[in-house]
Structure 1
Amino acid sequence: MVQTHNQISDSICAIATAPGIGAIAVIRLSGADAINISNKVFFGKDITQVESHTAHFGTIRDGEKIVDEVLVTVFKGKKSFTGENSVEISTHGSPYIQQQVLQLLLKNGAKAAGPGEFTLRAFLNGKMDLSQAEAVADVIAANSESSHELAMSQMRGGFSNEIQKLRNELIHFASLIELELDFGEEDVEFADRDDLKELVLKLNKALTLLINSFDYGNVIKTGVPVAIVGEPNVGKSTLLNALLNEERAIVSDIAGTTRDTIEDEIVINGISYRFIDTAGIRETTDEIEGLGIKKSFEKIDSASIILLLVDASSISKEQLKKDVNNIENRIEGKNKRLIVIANKIDKSDLTTIEAKFEGIENVIFTSAKELQNIDNIKEQLYHFVKDGVLQNTDVIVTNARHFEALSKANESLIKVLEGLDVNITGDFLAMDIRQALHQLGEITGEITTDDLLDNIFSKFCIGK
């Protein structure tokens, strides 16, 4: 269970570096007695008397036995990450040494930290709000430049500052509405309804932008899913290998070789893309191949970008239009993009091939086998994200909990607008405004429950 303010007197410790053997490892302590506990096992200097943010060389000892030579870094009070006394002990990376040091600290009064407990303490001690605390986990998990930049922006308060600004504007009118309720018998109106409507429309527009950014933010955080689809033997596996610059998929002249989906990931200009090579889509009586084709359609539904690969040297104009229409009908009205890849252009006259594709949008002519125009495909993939995300808003939502809270807050604001249109009384307006404020407050942690904090911090790694 999550600790509350009056339950964080214990000093906690954990190994902060990843499991396994490395050059060094870091054991982290935090709590009122963190420095005193460390001082009991550290020999070199009395670290209870040193300045904050100083490092000291010495040994960790169990009685007379030297466990390791270490570097101890001391952080005092509000100057630390957690907002309380903290110590980081840098040891050699042996798992045996790490465990020996950890056991010594536990024996001398520390308690084992739970998942995310250091960051939880930073939140409880006012060092960061809840959305910033959640971004700490995103920074650790970031696997591309874009996901790292988004997480860093949120950890440094970019998102929470925007939410706080919106919430503060609404609080002003909420207080005026509440004041009206106090003078209900006198029929006074402190909150000008036209001004309130103007504000709610403004907030509605801002929240809608944030809500709409979630689809993009989520794929930047987890990787943009790209499905490679087409009939058997058109070169899907060859294209995947060309994009990944390695032989990841089995390539064969036998149609139907790929009977399952294959996934791999690359980074293009700082954005991660998850490529999915699917089984060939065609009519078949082969039960196993049929299951693969079913999965292919599922991957089309879950992908943000669909690369429809066709054999440009043999496909007819009629079949091409049929294939394109099938995909377009499946993704119509959804935030997806279809790019047609005309493959095997090395096997036929290019002028003849281009004539087949007249009227088809977003076509790239390539030979995956000869690595022709592979860079053009990557460029199109990058611009799909860049043009869709980076030009729309400075703040992008990446967290599903934030998305849900923003959606609920916006629903409450829409109810306020509907109420203003029919001149409902202040007490009903106040209910919807309170609900919107509650949802926005849950994002930054101004309104929390133990269950909410448990759910968030249980997903962190131990030691963070």
Structure 2
Amino acid sequence: MQNLLQNDDTIIALATPQGVGAIGVIRLSGKEAISITNKVFKGKDLSKQESHTIHFGTIRDEDNRILDEVLISLFIAPKSFTKENVVEISCHGSNFIIKQIIQLLIRKGARPAKPGEFTKRAFMNGQFDLAQAEAVADLINADTEAAHNAALNQMRGGFSGEIKRLREELIHFASMIELELDFGEEDVEFASRDDLKELVNKLQVVVNALIQSFDLGNVIKNGVPTVIAGKPNAGKSTLLNALLNEEKAIVSDIAGTTRDFIEDEIVIGGVAFRFIDTAGLRETTDAIEKIGVERTQAKMKTASMIIYLFDLSQVDIVEMNKEINVLENTGVPFLKVGNKLDKVDDALVEKLQHQHPDMLFLTAKEPEHVEELKNRILELVNLNKFKRGDTVVTNIRHYDSLLQTKNALMNVIEGIDNQVTNDFVAMDIRQALHYLGEITGEITTDDLLANIFSKFCIGK
């Protein structure tokens, strides 16, 4: 890949989190990383050591004063993360020591790294493609098992492999049509339009599947905002406390106790869920409670999932059906939950089960009931596809490029059906290739790279 930035300088940054710890790791990358470190290291001559070796010694300043005892890890180009010479200095985790060592090495010729610059250099030097580079940041920020698995799959090339296969198949036909353009005055056909149409239809199936996977990918990466809603005193706060296993919300027999929403996050089945306990939905003249009700309605519209509680001890079936109709009109996936099962007889439950077979009946205070609710929540999210190892799109940039690819491929089909000239068909194919190339970095710009890597932490 053509290098879009100058890599002649050697960069340095702290690779471990800021703050006092047992150790800190300082990373250098660049042509002079080893020679710069060698100037301040007392121990073995680093320039004569092999790659992937570790050496004990001291770091000393210009006055030969010992700053710290350290371990030096050597990674000689191209056998390193950035494919450049890389040195990692493991020192004691004192902020003072770390600062002194970094400032010393800057005086010896290194410069402070920019956010994501180590990963950017790895990408520019061909260590991996752009989608894989972005997955490095996702892997660092992964807080759940599902997010970790998705990022790891992408970093190891699962998503990139899909995109590259699409491009390779399309490039063949693009080259054939470009060849036809070179013989424009002769009646020759190197690329069968029927075969091209068949290929594009096949590609559309794959692209559409990737586009549709984004909803699931977004859930895996960012979690699921889940609103707990229902009428006052239905047991919403009790349920939130049971899910979180702590007394997060005030529980009272007085209707309207929760006047604003309360949020907290837990992980269920490897997926993060942000549960939002909301004010009870009812007509009210209380000004503060009315604001809470309005906020509840707004939260329900923007949620990814709604857990709607019905108080079985006070249920009105006609009113319940009206509320369910309202929920269905929101377009948001929801679970119907009948709470306070311990306060009603079996006849009512059987009647409701007959009308609403998908309704879950529970008592929010019972741990086994809460576990059953968690299982139903996971069913609604539907992680089965991801667990089968299918490629899942988690990045909004990739999603947008896939949408643009889909439109370009549709234009190819439309052009073939309308028997447009080869130059227009070729133009649409080139557009599809362009958008696919943006995902993996075959097609890129300095502005795009700067925007992507600016979101990385310094030191990665």
How much has 1:291 moved relative to structure 2?
Answer: 2.6
How much has 1:340 moved relative to structure 2?
Answer: 0.8
User: What one-letter code is carried by the residue in structure 2 that aligns with 1:20?
Assistant: G
Deviates more, 1:280-289 or 1:450-459: 280-289
SS at match of 1:132: helix
**What residue in structure 2 maps to residue 340 of structure 1?**
336
Deviates more, 1:390-399 or 1:77-86: 390-399
| Matches of 1:159 and 1:319, distance apart in 2 | 48
**What residue in structure 2 maps to residue 159 of structure 1?**
159
User: What one-letter code is carried by the residue in structure 2 that aligns with 1:147?
Assistant: A
| Matches of 1:6 and 1:444, distance apart in 2 | 18
User: What one-letter code is carried by the residue in structure 1 that aligns with 2:327?
Assistant: I
Across the aligned residues of Structure 1 and Structure 2, the Cα RMSD in angstroms comes to 1.6
After superposition, the Cα gap between the structure-2 partners of 1:452 and 1:387, relative to the gap in structure 1 and judged at 3 Å, is closer
**What residue in structure 2 maps to residue 367 of structure 1?**
363
How much has 1:297 moved relative to structure 2?
Answer: 2.2
**What residue in structure 1 maps to residue 6 of structure 2?**
7
| Matches of 2:389 and 2:206, distance apart in 1 | 10
After superposition, the Cα gap between the structure-2 partners of 1:215 and 1:91, relative to the gap in structure 1 and judged at 3 Å, is same
User: What one-letter code is carried by the residue in structure 2 that aligns with 1:196?
Assistant: L
Could you tell me which runs of 5 or more consecutive residues in structure 2 were left unpaired when the two chains were aligned: none
Counterpart mapping for 1:200-349 below 5 A:
200-331=200-331, 336-349=332-345
**What residue in structure 1 maps to residue 52 of structure 2?**
53
How much has 1:372 moved relative to structure 2?
Answer: 4.9
Counterpart mapping for 1:65-76 below 5 A:
65-76=65-76
User: What one-letter code is carried by the residue in structure 1 that aligns with 2:112?
Assistant: A
For the 8 Å contact 1:158–1:395, the answer to whether it is kept is yes
How much has 1:392 moved relative to structure 2?
Answer: 7.8
User: What one-letter code is carried by the residue in structure 2 that aligns with 1:60?
Assistant: I
| Matches of 1:357 and 1:291, distance apart in 2 | 34
Per-residue displacement from partner, 1:418-463 (whole Å, max 9, x unpaired)? 1111111111111110000000000000010011001100000000
How much has 1:285 moved relative to structure 2?
Answer: 2.6
2:16 counterpart of 1:17 = yes
How much has 1:388 moved relative to structure 2?
Answer: 5.8
User: What one-letter code is carried by the residue in structure 2 that aligns with 1:173?
Assistant: F
User: What one-letter code is carried by the residue in structure 2 that aligns with 1:178?
Assistant: E
For the 8 Å contact 1:338–1:362, the answer to whether it is kept is no
User: What one-letter code is carried by the residue in structure 2 that aligns with 1:312?
Assistant: L
Per-residue displacement from partner, 1:118-164 (whole Å, max 9, x unpaired)? 00000000001000000000000000101000000000100001100
User: What one-letter code is carried by the residue in structure 2 that aligns with 1:444?
Assistant: T
User: What one-letter code is carried by the residue in structure 2 that aligns with 1:341?
Assistant: V
| Number of residue pairs aligned between Structure 1 and Structure 2 | 458
User: What one-letter code is carried by the residue in structure 1 that aligns with 2:418?
Assistant: V
Deviates more, 1:128-137 or 1:309-318: 309-318
| Matches of 1:164 and 1:29, distance apart in 2 | 32
After superposition, the Cα gap between the structure-2 partners of 1:132 and 1:387, relative to the gap in structure 1 and judged at 3 Å, is closer
SS at match of 1:170: helix
How much has 1:267 moved relative to structure 2?
Answer: 1.4
For the 8 Å contact 1:313–1:353, the answer to whether it is kept is no
Q: Which of 436, 444, 459 is the aligned partner of 1:448?
A: 444
**What residue in structure 1 maps to residue 406 of structure 2?**
410
| Matches of 1:391 and 1:142, distance apart in 2 | 17
After superposition, the Cα gap between the structure-2 partners of 1:292 and 1:388, relative to the gap in structure 1 and judged at 3 Å, is farther
What TM-score do the two structures reach when normalised by structure 1?
Answer: 0.96
**What residue in structure 2 maps to residue 118 of structure 1?**
118
Deviates more, 1:240-249 or 1:443-452: 240-249
For the 8 Å contact 2:216–2:383, the answer to whether it is kept is no
Per-residue displacement from partner, 1:65-114 (whole Å, max 9, x unpaired)? 11111111010111100110001111111111111111111111100001
How much has 1:348 moved relative to structure 2?
Answer: 2.1
For the 8 Å contact 1:268–1:378, the answer to whether it is kept is yes
| Matches of 1:298 and 1:287, distance apart in 2 | 17
- Counting aligned pairs with the same residue, the percent is 59
Counterpart mapping for 1:417-456 below 5 A:
417-456=413-452
Deviates more, 1:223-232 or 1:72-81: 223-232
**What residue in structure 1 maps to residue 174 of structure 2?**
174
What TM-score do the two structures reach when normalised by structure 2?
Answer: 0.96
For the 8 Å contact 1:316–1:356, the answer to whether it is kept is no
How much has 1:29 moved relative to structure 2?
Answer: 0.5
Could you tell me which runs of 5 or more consecutive residues in structure 1 were left unpaired when the two chains were aligned: none
Per-residue displacement from partner, 1:316-335 (whole Å, max 9, x unpaired)? 1111111111101111xxxx
| Matches of 2:259 and 2:101, distance apart in 1 | 51
After superposition, the Cα gap between the structure-2 partners of 1:447 and 1:250, relative to the gap in structure 1 and judged at 3 Å, is same
| Matches of 2:384 and 2:229, distance apart in 1 | 23
How much has 1:411 moved relative to structure 2?
Answer: 0.5
User: What one-letter code is carried by the residue in structure 2 that aligns with 1:400?
Assistant: I
After superposition, the Cα gap between the structure-2 partners of 1:43 and 1:393, relative to the gap in structure 1 and judged at 3 Å, is closer
**What residue in structure 2 maps to residue 383 of structure 1?**
379
| Matches of 1:289 and 1:188, distance apart in 2 | 76
| Matches of 2:187 and 2:391, distance apart in 1 | 42
SS at match of 2:87: strand
Per-residue displacement from partner, 1:286-324 (whole Å, max 9, x unpaired)? 333223222222222222221111101111111111111
**What residue in structure 2 maps to residue 136 of structure 1?**
136
SS at match of 2:279: coil
| Matches of 2:108 and 2:348, distance apart in 1 | 81
2:397 counterpart of 1:401 = yes
For the 8 Å contact 1:317–1:357, the answer to whether it is kept is no
**Structure 1 runs, 4 residues or longer, greater than 3 Å off:** 3-6, 386-389
User: What one-letter code is carried by the residue in structure 2 that aligns with 1:211?
Assistant: I
User: What one-letter code is carried by the residue in structure 1 that aligns with 2:339?
Assistant: N
| Matches of 1:388 and 1:145, distance apart in 2 | 14
SS at match of 2:314: coil
